């Protein structure tokens, strides 16, 4: 019998498994850092497997919306096409592991798609959509469907230290570095 039919997120990882998946997302964040992008990485886990990966590509694509989450969503769509399974079906039963709290835009996107669960590392005090700046995950938004479940705090410190590393250098494509605020604690930008 198809156990996927028992509602969203039939797969419920324990603490240790959450940590294991988050480590995989962290590898992608480091990859972003090495490529001169804001170090945020993420993976989609579906049916106990990684089905899509993403990391920030804003500078490479000259598109400020190429956050790790949206890059991974595109990869997930490709995976679904390849496997010939319904994208809507898969994403509702998937878990997103992302090193930083999704921003307001990504949170809106993930709710549009009715993602099953978000597990994130550190909070995003400048743009966070899962409680830091706005509560896009939980607010009453009829056109976006039911609220989205979020858990934070996995490897938060490690995610923060990557961001600090990035912002202590300079983003070479930002024309006015003086408006870029120094990062303290877990205040970050993505």
Partner 1 sequence: LADDYTKGVQFACMMFVHFTIQKQYKELTTHLPMPRLQHLKRVKKDLSNKDHPLSVLLCPDDKNQSSEDGNPKPCHRTPSLRELCPAIDLPDDVVGGTYTVLVPSRAPLTRAQFEAASAVWPTTFHEDKYISRLLTGPILTCEEQEYAEDYMKFAITVARRGRQLQQDSAGCSDGCVIVDPNTKKLLIAAHPVTKQHPLHHAVMVAIDLVAKQQGAGSYTYRGEHLFIANTGELPAEQTSEKTGPYLCTGYDVYVTAEPCIMCSMALVHSRIRRLYYGDPSPDGALGTKYKLHTQPGLNHKFEVFRGLLMKDHTVSGVLNSSVDA
**Binding mask of the shown chain, residues 65 to 94, with x at each position contacting partner 1 by CB under 8 A:** xx---x--xx--x---------xx------
Instruction: Tally Cβ neighbours within 10 Å of residue 3.
Output: 8
**Among 16, 62, 82, 169, interactor with partner 1 by CB under 8 A:** 62
Determine the Cα–Cα distance for residues 164 and 186; give it in Å rounded to an integer.
8
CB of 113 to Zn ion, least distance (A): 13
Kind of pairing, strands 117-122 and 41-46?
unpaired
Helix (H, G, I), strand (E, B) or coil at 55: strand
Q: Is 158 a catalytic residue?
A: no
State the residue for tokens 């990882």: 13
State the minimum distance, in angstroms, from the CB of residue 89 to partner 1: 13
103 binds Zn ion (CB under 5 A): yes
Say which DSSP state 128 is in. B
Q: Which of 61, 83, 165, 184 binds partner 1 (CB under 8 A)?
A: 61
Task: Return the beta strands (E) in the chain as ranges.
Answer: 41-46, 49-55, 95-100, 117-122, 149-151
By CB under 8 A, name the binding residues for partner 1: 57, 60-66, 70, 73-74, 77, 87-88, 103-109, 112-113, 125-127, 129, 133-134, 136, 139, 141-144, 173-175, 179, 181, 189
């Amino acid at each position: 019998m198809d156990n996927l039919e028992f509602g969203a997120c039939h797969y419920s990882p324990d603490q240790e498994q959450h940590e294991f998946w988050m480590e995989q997302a962290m590898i992608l964040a480091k990859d972003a850092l090495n490529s001169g992008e804001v170090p945020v990485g993420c993976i989609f886990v579906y049916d106990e497997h990684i089905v899509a990966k993403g990391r920030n590509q804003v500078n490479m694509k000259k598109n400020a919306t190429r956050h790790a989450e949206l890059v991974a969503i595109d990869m997930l769509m490709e995976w679904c096409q390849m496997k010939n399974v319904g994208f809507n079906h898969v994403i509702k039963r998937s878990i997103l592991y992302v090193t930083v709290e999704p921003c307001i835009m990504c949170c809106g996107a993930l709710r549009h798609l009715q993602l099953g669960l978000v597990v994130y590392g550190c909070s995003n005090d400048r743009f966070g959509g899962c409680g830091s700046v706005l509560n896009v995950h939980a607010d009453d938004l009829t056109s976006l469907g039911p609220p989205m479940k979020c858990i934070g705090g996995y490897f938060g410190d490690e995610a923060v230290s990557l961001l600090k590393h990035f912002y202590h250098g300079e983003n070479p494509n930002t024309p006015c570095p003086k408006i870029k605020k120094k990062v303290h604690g877990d205040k970050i930008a993505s």
